Structure 1
């Protein structure tokens, strides 16, 4: 799942070399935290948060298939 988020995010930004995705396990839930170059934060969020919501939707759809709980957060807001 981490690789999927990393690949999607790198395709969206101007500085793909600065994209980092952290994987944190907490209380039977997985948190994927995306960190990008400060200039790329707006591109990952998108207008009215549409891009980050779409990333979350894709990840949650894959997680349901695997019977897991995964959330996606943008680390550097």
Structure 2
């Protein structure tokens, strides 16, 4: 569920939605979501002073609290 959420948000932000990839690495108590976008779309996902990335992490935090599992978002270059 969280993977799809991040994928949906990222695809809405970028110019090249086909290049959006979200990989979920599941641990016992924490899931790491790795977000990869086209190089030219990296700025759109991070946002000014990291605001967009912070907002995505906040939404992910709320969703993971509901799912009772910790999730971390990593944006790969």
TM range (shorter): over 0.9
Task: Point out where structure 1 has 5 or more consecutive residues left out of the alignment.
Answer: none
Residue in 2 that maps onto 1:38: 39
- The C-alpha deviation readout for 1:2-56, integer Å capped at 9, x for no partner, is 0010000000000000000000013421000000000000000000000000000
User: In the alignment, which residue of structure 2 is the partner of 1:11?
Assistant: 12
Return structure 1 stretches of 4+ with deviation > 2 angstroms. Answer: none
Structure 2: 5+ residue runs without aligned partners? none
TM-score normalised according to structure 1 size? 0.95
Instruction: Please show how residues 25-64 of structure 1 align to structure 2 within 5 Å.
Output: 25-64=26-65
TM-score, normalised relative to structure 2: 0.95
Number of matched pairs: 76
